[in-house]
Chain A
Amino acid sequence: MLLDVLLGVLAAAMAVVIWRLVTGPTDADRVVAVDLAFVIFVAGTALLAVRLRAPSALILVLAATLVGFLATVALAHLLERRQP
């Protein structure tokens, strides 16, 4: 029951992230939004693994952690290197 409410909270946070991705005034805002999106995805995966009693799904947490870090750094470098 508590986990369902918390997953709803994470879904609301993800809606905020999507709104910022669509309307963000600059591309720097979008990079920050993608950073928070992967954080929410990691937390949601961990909560789902507990909620569904499927501990094997916890390996997705590890994969999403690494993918999120690489995505943030790659997007930041793309933003830096882009010619105006």
Chain B
Amino acid sequence: MEKFAFDDQAGFLTKLKELVDSGISPKKISIFMPYHVHGVEELLKLQQSSVRFFALVGALTGIILGFGLTIFTSYHYPIITSGKPLVSIPPFIIIAFATTILIGSLITFGGFLILSALPSPKNIAEPEEYGNQFVILVD
């Protein structure tokens, strides 16, 4: 395994470009950065993060749950309040709106944890530290 470490972003990007151009498969390259350097993913031709699917599924679950809860409970114990219809959609939208955001963000967060393999017991016990360096590891 080869290791290249840089203190600045420019040197790191140049080296990375060099490595990719020399024909090394992006799968063999692992990178560590102190902050996200934009453009690295294009350079390695990586696909977009699939966190977005979790966001979609979470939001949809939330909206269904919000309407489901309000409509189900209205029928489960039918009691007319304020002379409104049992199932009054306008007030239920407010509840569904809140649950969409709540479940949406929680599932997105869960998705992020799964996709990036966090929490990582190995790195909690013995953290892999690169400080503020930009590191390229080539298998």
Partners in one complex: no
Question: Contact residues of A with B, CB < 8 Å?
Answer: none
Please report B residues at the A interface, Cβ cutoff 8 Å. Answer: none
